[in-house]
């Protein structure tokens, strides 16, 4: 199947006005390019998106300062999303994408863009990296949630967008059980801010 083939579900029809982010992510493994689309869907004229970003996977180059992407922080979404195979391996081995309801009008690299007009310095900035405290006991959780929490202890989370408060982004996959209740048991006090050098 071509990496650019899409199958249309009724929920993929693009509404005439904004209704949620409606992200679409396409990876071109041959050319090593990542395409991420915002407000993507099908309308009467064909497929459309309100915004498109490309990332060259052959480099670690960031977007220029001040630029956004399909993600408010200017970050690529795909590398920070939790996937089924990672849960099966026993640890998510990368920083995870997290959304917050309210953020500070600032960003810290690797983010290149802020997403708020709020100036409260107690709010997280886009790109803020937080890590789960190493001493936190995770043994009582299910194996998939332990996989996420092990990754949170080592790699942490990156604040990437304003949406649901403290929501870790997980790939839609019917093999992944519903993890919300267990993940919600982690508290803000269980994290430490990783200060950029």
Q: Is residue 100 part of a domain?
A: yes
Both 157 and 68 in one domain: the answer is yes
User: Does residue 108 contact residue 121 with C-beta atoms inside 8 Å?
Assistant: no
Q: What's this model's pTM, rounded to 2 decimal places?
A: 0.84
Confirm whether 1 is domain-assigned.
no
The residues of the chain scoring below 70 in pLDDT are 1-19, 196-197
Q: Which residues pair with 100 in a beta bridge?
A: 162
Residues 78, 173, single domain; the answer is: yes
The pLDDT assigned to 12 comes to: 54
* pLDDT tens, position by position, 32-71: 999 999 888 888 888 888 889 999 999 999 899 999 998 9
Enclosing domain of residue 13: 6-59
Does 113 lie in the same domain as 53?
A: no
Same-domain status, 16 and 100: no
Helix (H, G, I), strand (E, B) or coil at 145: helix
Please indicate, yes or no, whether residues 112 and 148 belong to a single structural domain of this protein. yes
Do 55 and 102 lie in one domain? The reply is no
- Asked if 47 and 77 sit in the same domain, the reply is no
* 156 falls within a domain: yes
Q: CA 75, CA 72: separation in Å to the nearest integer?
A: 8
Q: Are residues 105 and 40 in the same domain?
A: no
Ranges of beta strands (E only) in the chain are 24-28, 33-38, 41-43, 46-48, 51-56, 96-100, 129-132, 157-162, 167-168, 191-194
Looking at residue 14, its pLDDT comes to: 53
Do both 33 and 124 map to the same domain?
A: no
Name residues whose C-beta falls within 8 Å of residue 25's C-beta, 6 or more positions apart in sequence.
Answer: 34, 35, 36, 37, 77, 78
pLDDT of residue 155: 97
Say how many domains are in the chain.
2
Q: Which two tokens stand for residue 8?
A: 């249309």
Q: Give the tokens for residue 94.
A: 């990368």
Pairing status of strand 33-38 against strand 51-56? antiparallel
Torsion of CA 161, 41, 29, 62, to 10 degrees: -30
Q: Are residues 84 and 180 in the same domain?
A: yes
Q: Tell me the β-bridge partners of 28.
A: 33
* DSSP secondary structure letters along 30-95: TTTEEEEEES-EEETTEEE-SEEEEEETTS-PPPPTT---SSTTS--SGGGSB-HHHHHHTS--S-
- Are 27 and 91 contained in the same domain? no
Verify that 149 and 53 share a domain, yes or no.
no
């Amino acid at each position: 199947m071509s990496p650019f083939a899409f199958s249309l579900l009724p929920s993929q029809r693009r509404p005439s006005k904004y209704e949620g982010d409606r992200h679409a992510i396409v990876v071109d493994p041959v050319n090593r390019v990542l395409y991420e689309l915002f407000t993507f869907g099908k309308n009467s004229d064909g497929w459309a998106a309100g915004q498109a970003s490309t990332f060259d996977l052959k480099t670690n180059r960031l977007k220029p300062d001040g630029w956004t992407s399909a993600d408010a922080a200017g970050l690529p979404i795909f590398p920070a999303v939790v996937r089924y195979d990672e849960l099966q391996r026993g640890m998510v081995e990368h920083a995870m994408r997290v959304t917050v309801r309210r953020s500070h009008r600032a960003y810290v690299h690797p983010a290149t863009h802020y997403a708020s007009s709020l100036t409260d310095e107690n709010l997280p900035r886009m790109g803020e990296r937080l890590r789960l405290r190493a001493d936190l006991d995770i043994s009582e959780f299910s194996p998939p949630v332990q996989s996420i929490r092990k990754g949170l202890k080592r790699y942490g989370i990156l604040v990437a967008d304003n949406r649901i408060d403290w929501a870790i982004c997980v790939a839609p996959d019917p093999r992944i059980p519903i993890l919300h209740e267990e993940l919600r048991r982690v508290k803000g006090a269980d994290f430490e801010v990783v200060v950029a050098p």
